[in-house]
């Protein structure tokens, strides 16, 4: 006779996802989210509500029974202040903040401030702000790009329970003014260049009491009218005042607000994402379950500190006592900074990785037949070893790859990618050429950064890994786009996230908060995902940026733009289509040197790059190369663009075409390129818009 227990287990077995070679099926007790869980290689699957019998909630296998909210080895660290205190005590004499910029503005070797010195400066700054009347809970604006003082100010905010509010240098003056007023910012740290912007609307930001100029000299600062009620001082003077008027720390609690990060979005006014100390610690603590740094590591800081991706790396660096070297502030000189710093940890975005990939492949193709053959032989041999987990022959590194590794300083042991999808072949290329793990993560400001990330040992690409141990994920049906949890072979739907990493809400905006967080605490991300075998998440679509072509086919433009980004001629790409037309068109910002080299090889004469961009032969060459890249990526016939317009001017936040996180503002781009789009469709209407080769 079958026992009741055996019958129950057999009934539950019927609900389990069938085991594949990627999954490890087992049942075990789970007191937190139902009675049982189904383990896969990278995620476990739990029933959201036991009575429904639906197994749809995924967690990391690294912490399946409890969502992480603090560090494994240091449960006492529950705020950013605790994290920095721990670092100052543990790594007091270790290198922390490095810069190449001298006081006189010249560039030299990296000079370092230790953790202990940064701790002393943090206390002085916080005391200085208290001296000027700032109370716990006051908002402090940071209006300058990455440099050591940014992090020291941020640590001062944590120690004295102030709220840091990053002000993007690229947001433009109107958005900065809006944020300062919306958050009632009382003190702003800026540099000489951003000071002038602040002074231009000083009378319109009445909450501001103190403006501190980093790198400023008091004698050179303008005098403000006394009726303004604003004190204008240099950073060094504030440090001095704080040293002679020390105030005790005012430590925050985990639930207190640590920062308000304003996200630009592609439309409307900026939204203030409220993140608590507990949010940020949980997110980073979750990541430390799979990624370990060491005090011997060196990290380069060049991604904007105003963004959560870079912020979370800084919090993690502090926890492990990592040295952080800053770039000069000029992206064109980043390679020079990398050679001088020789970092071991390199975080970046697909935009830069695509450039590295295009630069290397282009150099190989133009290096001559013998060198190209050598590279291909080395690449294929090392790729086989890397993908099968074997140790590749060191000969290939000596002959070929060490020269490539030296581009990033020669010591990088871990690379990460975030902000937008990295194409699988670019990821494979980086793994082979640089000989280190390349992990891709997925996250957003509203989740304190990481929602999911790849396992370092996972050789499969084209996905964003398994859940951060600090959150759980489910997919919710989107019937209007034909995505459901019943889809075969993989469940699909809108990605929803719950756990201690989910933000507190949008500042002073209950309506928009309720639009994205439901009554059970699930955050609706707007991204469409599917579950691959083993519990890996793959992003396949975006709920908002979807449009239909005239024949009814749905288009996800970002996916197509990411494919075309690998084309050697393409620096940036805006793909457009609508329900009135049956095909796609694109506006391409060209790589100037590549287009000029092509023109020279074809014997085409031109006066300037603008004239060359308008040459029909140039457009045809770029479109042909894009078609080749599209075929390689297996785009479907209707996903190929059928006409291109070439432009010289890059898409930037200054001309209103990019958000500060480098995403295209689609409504603005449509308006900006309206004539070009109209002309392309007019041209297509007089010719056959669907070459058979693309179908």
Answer whether residue 22 shows pLDDT above 60. no
Can you read off the two tokens belonging to residue 28? 């075990």
* Secondary element (H or E) of residue 510: helix 510-516
The residues that bridge with 449 in the sheet, in sequence order, are: 444
Answer whether residue 216 shows pLDDT above 70. yes
Whole-number pLDDT of residue 54: 81
Whole-number pLDDT of residue 576: 94
CA dist 138 and 120 (Å) reads 21
| Three-class DSSP category at 664 | strand
Q: Tell me which residue of 245, 207, 215 sits closest to 233, measured CA to CA.
A: 215
Residue 685 dihedral angles phi and psi, to the nearest 5°: -65, -20
Residue 433 dihedral angles phi and psi, to the nearest 5°: -70, -40
Whole-number pLDDT of residue 184: 98
Contact 618, 599 (CB under 8 A): yes
pLDDT category at 448 given cuts 50, 70, 90 is very high
Contact 458, 475 (CB under 8 A): no
Whole-number pLDDT of residue 620: 95
Whole-number pLDDT of residue 6: 53
Of residues 19 and 233, the one with the higher pLDDT is: 233
Answer whether residue 30 shows pLDDT above 90. no
Can you read off the two tokens belonging to residue 530? 């599917």
| Size (the chain), residues | 695
Q: Tell me which residue of 183, 233, 242 sits closest to 210, measured CA to CA.
A: 233
Q: What is the pLDDT of residues 516-568, one digit of tens each?
A: 999 999 999 999 999 998 899 999 877 767 777 877 676 878 889 989 999 99
CA dist 454 and 557 (Å) reads 24
Answer whether residue 168 shows pLDDT above 90. no
Contact 541, 30 (CB under 8 A): no
Give mean pLDDT, residues 266-282: 88
pLDDT category at 4 given cuts 50, 70, 90 is low
Answer whether residue 53 shows pLDDT above 80. no
Give mean pLDDT, residues 234-256: 97
* Secondary element (H or E) of residue 590: strand 584-590
Whole-number pLDDT of residue 35: 43
Whole-number pLDDT of residue 453: 96
pLDDT category at 691 given cuts 50, 70, 90 is very low
Q: At what angle do helices 115-131 and 80-90 cross, to 10 degrees?
A: 140
In angstroms, the Cα distances linking 300 to 109, 332, 452, 462 are 14, 15, 23, 26
Task: Give the range among 267-281, 332-346, 681-695 with minimum mean pLDDT.
Answer: 681-695
Can you read off the two tokens belonging to residue 212? 């501190």
CA dist 415 and 457 (Å) reads 13
Given the DSSP bridges, would you call strands 210-213 and 231-234 parallel, antiparallel or unpaired? parallel
CA dist 195 and 317 (Å) reads 30
Of residues 235 and 39, the one with the higher pLDDT is: 235
């Amino acid at each position: 006779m079958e026992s009741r227990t055996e019958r129950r287990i057999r009934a539950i077995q019927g609900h389990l996802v069938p085991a594949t070679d990627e999954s490890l099926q087992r049942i075990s007790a789970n007191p937190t989210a139902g009675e049982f869980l189904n383990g896969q290689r990278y995620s476990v699957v739990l029933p959201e509500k036991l009575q429904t019998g639906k197994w749809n909630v995924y967690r990391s296998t690294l912490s399946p029974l409890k969502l992480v909210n603090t560090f494994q080895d240091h449960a006492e660290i529950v705020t950013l202040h605790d994290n920095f205190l721990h670092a100052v005590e543990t790594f007091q004499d270790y290198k922390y903040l490095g810069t190449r910029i001298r006081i006189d503005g010249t560039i030299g070797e990296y000079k370092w401030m230790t953790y202990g010195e940064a701790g002393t400066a943090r206390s002085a700054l916080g005391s200085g702000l208290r001296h000027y009347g700032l109370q716990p809970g006051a908002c402090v604006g940071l209006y300058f790009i990455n440099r050591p003082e940014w992090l020291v100010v941020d640590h001062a905010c944590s120690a004295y329970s102030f709220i840091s509010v990053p002000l993007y240098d690229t947001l433009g003056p109107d958005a900065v003014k809006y944020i300062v007023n919306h958050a009632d910012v009382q003190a702003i740290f800026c540099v000489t260049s951003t000071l002038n912007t602040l002074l231009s609307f000083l009378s319109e930001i009445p909450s501001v009491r103190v403006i501190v100029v980093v790198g400023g000299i008091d004698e050179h600062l303008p005098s403000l009218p006394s009726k303004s009620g604003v004190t204008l001082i240099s950073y060094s003077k504030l440090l001095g005042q704080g040293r002679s008027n020390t105030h005790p720390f005012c430590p925050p609690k985990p639930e207190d607000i640590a920062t308000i990060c304003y996200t630009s979005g592609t439309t409307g006014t900026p939204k203030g994402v409220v993140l608590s100390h507990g949010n940020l610690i949980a997110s980073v603590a979750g990541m430390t379950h799979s990624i370990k740094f060491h005090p011997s590591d060196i990290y380069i800081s060049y991604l904007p500190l105003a963004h959560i991706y870079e912020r979370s790396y800084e919090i993690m660096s502090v926890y492990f006592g990592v040295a952080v070297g800053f770039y000069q502030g000029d992206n064109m000189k980043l390679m020079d900074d990398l050679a001088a710093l020789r970092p071991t940890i390199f975080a970046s975005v697909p935009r830069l990785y695509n450039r590295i990939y295009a630069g290397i492949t282009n150099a190989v193709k133009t290096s001559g037949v013998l060198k190209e053959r050598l590279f291909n032989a080395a690449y294929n041999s090392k790729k086989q070893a890397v993908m099968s987990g074997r140790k590749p022959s060191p000969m290939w590194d000596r002959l070929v790859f060490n020269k490539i590794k030296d581009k990033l300083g020669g010591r990088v042991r871990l690379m990460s990618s975030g902000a937008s999808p990295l194409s699988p072949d670019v990821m494979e290329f980086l793994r082979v050429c640089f000989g280190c793990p390349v992990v891709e993560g997925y996250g957003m400001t509203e989740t304190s950064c990481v929602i999911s990330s790849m396992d370092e040992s996972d050789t499969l690409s084209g996905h964003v890994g398994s859940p951060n141990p600090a959150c759980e994920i489910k997919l919710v049906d989107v019937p209007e786009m034909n995505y459901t949890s019943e889809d075969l072979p993989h469940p699909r739907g809108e990605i929803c996230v719950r756990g201690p990493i989910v933000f507190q809400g949008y500042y002073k905006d209950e309506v928009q908060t309720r639009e994205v967080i439901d009554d059970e605490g699930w955050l609706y991300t707007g991204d469409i995902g599917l579950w691959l075998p083993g519990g890996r998440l793959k992003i396949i679509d975006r709920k908002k940026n979807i449009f239909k072509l005239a024949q009814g086919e749905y288009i996800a433009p970002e996916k197509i733009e990411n494919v075309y980004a690998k084309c050697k001629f393409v620096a940036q790409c805006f793909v457009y289509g609508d329900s009135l037309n049956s095909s796609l068109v694109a506006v391409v910002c060209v790589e100037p040197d590549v287009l000029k080299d092509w023109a020279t090889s074809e014997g085409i004469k031109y006066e300037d790059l603008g004239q060359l961009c308008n040459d029909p032969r140039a457009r045809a060459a770029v479109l042909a190369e894009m078609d080749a890249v599209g075929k390689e990526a297996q785009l479907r016939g209707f996903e190929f663009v059928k006409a291109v317009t070439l432009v010289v001017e890059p898409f930037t936040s200054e001309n209103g075409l990019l958000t500060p996180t480098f995403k295209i503002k689609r409504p603005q781009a449509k308006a900006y390129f309206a004539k070009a789009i109209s002309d392309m469709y007019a041209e297509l209407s007089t010719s056959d818009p669907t070459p058979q080769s693309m179908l």
